[in-house]
Chain A
Amino acid sequence: AQSVAQPEDQVNVAEGNPLTVKCTYSVSGNPYLFWYVQYPNRGLQFLLKYITGDNLVKGSYGFEAEFNKSQTSFHLKKPSALVSDSALYFCAVRVSGGYNKLIFGAGTRLAVHP
């Protein structure tokens, strides 16, 4: 069965420090992986995706994610966190043969402190 795990409910980071939000996955076949961000009272916004190619994927707002096949991970990173990055982050994996159905992780709340 395909699944996604986000092992941390919350990540706390000081502004200006690098941040990492963790995600591991389990799929059959090649993984199609995604990160979304949700700000308060808003819908989920697409940040970036890995389909194939370079293991380091760059996305919106300065975020990037590193695909690691051996560790089945797809961690979200940013070199320097901003207070405005504080939000709920979701990792997702596409279900093969599922018309772009995504399985979402439980979400990780990122809190960036001034």
Chain B
Amino acid sequence: DAGVIQSPRHEVTEMGQEVTLRCKPISGHNSLFWYRQTMMRGLELLIYFNNNVPIDDSGMPEDRFSAKMPNASFSTLKIQPSEPRDSAVYFCASSSSGGATWEQYFGPGTRLTVT
């Protein structure tokens, strides 16, 4: 199994630009989670999906953030327009809610720097 795949691994952009982060969950997993990690705030859950449907987006910081999951094998997190305070590592994780495994599996993350 290839694990959770995220792209790009690193992204450097200027303030005001649109940023799109991508995630491919583990095949067969039906729950997908987007997290953000910073030194100041630690690990924060932004949004999660079950069977491609957004369940809870209360962690999304502002309207500048949006996430989609058009199918079971792909999700995007978009920031438009980006700001320097969005600089962080963004993780995608997936799990199977149908079985008895319960744990989430994380991707390697995307390190976003907004200048």
* Binary CB contact string for chain A from 65 to 93 against chain B (1 if under 8 A, 0 otherwise): 00000000000000000000000001000
Cβ contacts under 8 Å, B105 to chain A: 46
Q: Which of A34-75 contact B (CB under 8 A)?
A: 34, 36, 42-46, 49, 51
Q: Are B56 and A51 in contact (CB under 8 A)?
A: no
Cβ contacts under 8 Å, A101 to chain B: 33, 45, 48, 55-56
Q: Are B50 and A99 in contact (CB under 8 A)?
A: yes
Q: Are A43 and B45 in contact (CB under 8 A)?
A: no
Tell me, in angstroms, the Cα distance from A100 to B91 when the chains sit together.
Answer: 16
Tell me, in angstroms, the Cα distance from A104 to B44 when the chains sit together.
Answer: 9
* Binary CB contact string for chain B from 78 to 103 against chain A (1 if under 8 A, 0 otherwise): 00000000000001010111001011
Which A-chain residue is minimally distant from B43 (CB atoms)? A104
Tell me, in angstroms, the Cα distance from A49 to B107 when the chains sit together.
Answer: 19
Count of interface residues, chain A, beta-carbon cutoff 8 Å: 20
Cβ contacts under 8 Å, B4 to chain A: 43
Tell me, in angstroms, the Cα distance from A41 to B81 when the chains sit together.
Answer: 26
Cβ contacts under 8 Å, B106 to chain A: 36, 43-45
Q: Which residues of B line the A interface, CB within 8 A? A: 4, 31, 33, 42-43, 45, 48, 50, 55-56, 91, 93, 95-97, 100, 102-109
Given contacts A98-B56, A101-B45, 11 further A-B contacts (CB under 8 A): A32-B102, A36-B106, A43-B93, A49-B102, A51-B100, A94-B102, A99-B48, A99-B55, A100-B31, A100-B97, A100-B104
Ranked nearest first, the 6 interchain pairs of A and B with the lowest CB-CB distance are A43-B106, A100-B95, A99-B50, A44-B106, A99-B97, A46-B103
27 contacts between A and B (CB under 8 A): A34-B102, A43-B93, A43-B106, A43-B109, A44-B43, A44-B93, A46-B104, A46-B105, A49-B103, A51-B100, A94-B102, A98-B56, A99-B31, A99-B50, A99-B97, A100-B31, A100-B95, A100-B96, A100-B102, A100-B103, A100-B104, A101-B33, A101-B45, A101-B48, A101-B55, A104-B42, A107-B43
